[in-house]
Chain A
Amino acid sequence: MPTLVDLLARVSFLAAMPAVAGVLVTAGLLVVSREWRLNVIALAVQYFFVVLLLTRLIRLEVAAVKGLIGWMICMVFYLTERRASVLEQSPAAEGTAVSRRWPRWVMSARASFSLLAGLLVSVAAYTAALRIPLPEVPTDITLACYLLVGLGLLLIGLSEAPMQVGVGLLTFLSGFDLFYVALEPSLAVTGLLGAVSFLIALATAYLRVAQIAAGGEERNP
């Protein structure tokens, strides 16, 4: 049975512009979508592409560990949101069940705005990657860093919901991590950054649970 490292080695041909495109699509989805299932999947795929890009800068094993931390974070988010969706099935919410079951395939004003803002940030990231290249990393990884940092910041700015902010912070940190491993490949820093990401996930999940426990006054917008 192939190990995770073997699997990553097999798909290493994607670790250039395809991975950057993957990062753009997944981070863009996180910005536009408020559907938690889609967001958790997008975050997991985003970590996959980030790990692919990381394999060009650090040892495959270390990149795999970073990926595992990311997927554990996705698991935390999945379990939290699943529990939250069960708790939200109150009698008051049943009246709106039909509209939730059959979502209209028309973009809301919020999603349109988020998409437009995401596009603007992506263009800004592309321009920044051409004009302000980051030291020690190739151009395509520079672009991925700028995209993750920019779209992460956008996510943080667009919402005050704990999970959205948490996902935004983690996206921001992924972008920074992608750059920083080239500067400081120390295992201690890698471990501490992993701990930081995991604690951010736990803290935001805790706040999400508090949100549900408090009566869901501010449920996901």
Chain B
Amino acid sequence: MIAGPLLLLILPLAMAGIVYILLRWKSLSALLAVGTALVLGIVVGTLPLDQPVRFWGGREIALGEVVTLFGRELILDQADRMAMAFLFFTSAGLFFLAWHSAPHSLLFPMGLSMLSLLSGALLIRPFIYAALLIEIAAALSVFALQAEGGAPTRGGLRYLTFTTLALPGLLVTHWLLERYTLTPDDTGLLSMAATLLALSFALLLGVVPFHTWVPAVAGDSVPLAGTFVLTVGNGAVWFLLLDFLETYPWLSSHPRFISLVFSAGVAMVVVGGLLAPSQRRLGPLIGYAVLVDSGAALIALGMNSKLGLTLTLLSLLMRPFGLALMATSLSGLRAHSGGDDDFDALRGLGWKAPWSTAALIFGGLSVAGLPVSAGFVWRWALCRALAPSSPGSALLLLLAGLGVMVGVWRGLSVLLVRPRSPENCSVISLGSSESWLTAVVVTIAILSCIGVGLFPQALAPLVVRLVETYTFFTP
């Protein structure tokens, strides 16, 4: 009998090695990466936890079996199972897009290795090991973020730095909480643990003023690898935070928890909303859009209610749709501008790369939380939920979304500059130079984004089931 948790750890790691060897065959390596992530997503999302399932050859897989590895327990519970399904499916989607946008990229093997480590971080008890596994995943991400033949990525280095700085807080918290169980009268230990946890998660989630790694990752690395870090890597951190809140209920009932989380969210929304429209490069613009998105998710968590938690989880599910589109657009446009995403370098490229430009429009709509997109679903619901109790925050959220859209609009106005004189016409060709495969891939991604935006009820039951597994908020 194969224990499910071990399968989730070992299979992606083994496939990472195989994919790395086969990296020179881009379609084969990409399809293997997509297939592995997809199969594991289906396995973890559909197999029952309470009974083993027999597969071909008489082998059985017991997904819910508790495994002890080097004296540490690997436990797959309902919440983590859905979180991992999200990580695997998102990875499959990003690998699919990278097949065309970033072939031969180290994203495939490193992404699979990171999936194994992030799954381990969600499965392992106690949480102390989760912090170490996330740190190792961050170190591996540097290899994926670095573009072949490009200058060293500041994004990877900064991400690694901030993750390393977050490590001590998480590790020492574990020791403080163990001490607290021995001396329950010493409430100072709890306060210290709460402070360290807040600081560590602020570093990991890119809360202002620790946000500098977010625009750097988005703007200064392989776009889809950056998106992988900002959706899958960051998603694992979010689920780890929820696990912490579930395991230590005193944390969410701490008198300053709500105000701290809410203020952090508002600060991110304001900073992201102010800086996004002033960017002159597409990459950092995406980074600041992500900052607004994360801030909004924190505001939702700070509502301290089931509705807030539902919106937070919905934000995690919706973010990959818009972000993946923008990353695909950035990849396509960089390919046409010689690797530069400065507005000056992108002048008039919209006519050469119409599909990448279309991806930018729909991705921009989604990350800005505007209608007919995946991002609108939860952002509008959040604004409506906030309006009665905190109209100022709701207004700031709307303005930040508009700020992001202004940045995208500025990019679009540069991309769609038309030649005005016959001389310029000879310089800027009006014909598309993107392949039909790009058109197909981008069309699928755009339709998914719009489809989820128009029919959110397809994902809503999943989110509701996921919310049911967390009990730390009163209804």
- Assess the A196–B132 pair: CB atoms within 8 A: yes
Chain B interface, number of residues (Cβ within 8 angstroms): 32
Residue of B nearest to A176 (CB): B168
Closest chain-B Cβ to A127's Cβ sits at a distance in Å of 20
Query: A193-210: contact bitstring with B at CB < 8 Å (1 yes, 0 no)?
Result: 101100110111011101
Q: How far is the CB of B229 from chain A (nearest CB, A)?
A: 13
A172 to B161, CA, bound (A): 10
Question: Are A184 and B152 interface neighbours, CB within 8 A?
Answer: no
B226 nearest CB across to chain A (Å)? 15
Q: Is the CB of B150 within 8 A of A196?
A: no
Docked Cα-Cα span, A196 to B161, in Å, equals 12
Cβ of A162 under 8 Å from chain B: yes
Interface stretch, picked from A19-27, A34-42, A66-74, A211-219, is A211-219
CB-based contact B149/A213 at 8 Å = yes
Asked if A188 is at the interface of the complex by the 8 Å CB criterion, the answer is yes
Of all chain B residues, the one with the shortest Cβ separation from A170 is B164
A196 in contact with B157 (CB, 8 Å): no
Q: Chain A residues near B136: list those with CB within 8 A.
A: 192, 195-196, 199
Binary per-residue interface labels of chain A (70-93) against chain B in the complex, 1 for a CB within 8 Å, 0 otherwise:
000000000000000000000000
Q: What is the 8 Å Cβ interface bit string for chain A, positions 162-194, against chain B (1 contact, 0 not)?
A: 100100010011001000100110001100110
Minimum CB–CB distance for A58 against chain B, Å: 15
**Distance in angstroms between the alpha carbons of A196 and B135 in the assembled complex:** 7
Q: Which residues of A contact B142 (CB under 8 A)?
A: 203, 206-207
B257 contacts the other chain (CB 8 A): no
The yes or no answer to A156 lying at the interface (CB within 8 A) is: yes
Residue of B nearest to A134 (CB): B172
Complex alpha-carbon distance, A188 and B174, angstroms: 15
Per-position 1/0 for B133-157, Cβ under 8 A of A: 1011001101100100111111011
Asked whether A160 is an interface residue with its Cβ less than 8 Å from the other chain, the reply is yes
- Residues on the A chain within 8 Å of B161, using CB: 156, 165, 169
| Chain B nearest Cβ from A175, distance in angstroms | 9
Contact residues on A (Cβ < 8 Å of other chain), bracket: 20 to 34
When the two chains form their complex, are residues A214 and B152 in contact, meaning their CB atoms are under 8 A apart?
A: yes
Question: B168: nearest residue on chain A (CB-CB)?
Answer: A176
> Which chain A residues lie closer than 8 Å to B384 at the CB level?
none
* A173–B156 CB distance below 8 A: no
| A184 contacts across to B, CB distance below 8 A | 128, 171, 174-175
In this complex, the member of A195, A203, A213, A215 whose beta carbon has the largest number of chain B beta carbons within 10 angstroms is: A203
Known pairs A173-B164, A184-B175, A199-B140; A204 contacts B157 (CB<8 A): yes
Chain A hits for B135, CB < 8 A: 196
Q: Which residues of A contact B (CB under 8 A)?
A: 156, 160, 162, 165, 169, 172-173, 176, 180, 183-184, 188-189, 192-193, 195-196, 199-200, 202-204, 206-208, 210-211, 213-215, 217-218
Please list 17 pairs of residues, one from A and one from B, whose beta carbons are closer than 8 Å in the complex, sorted by A's number: A156-B161, A173-B164, A176-B167, A183-B175, A184-B175, A189-B132, A189-B171, A193-B132, A196-B136, A207-B142, A207-B152, A207-B153, A207-B156, A207-B157, A210-B146, A214-B152, A217-B151
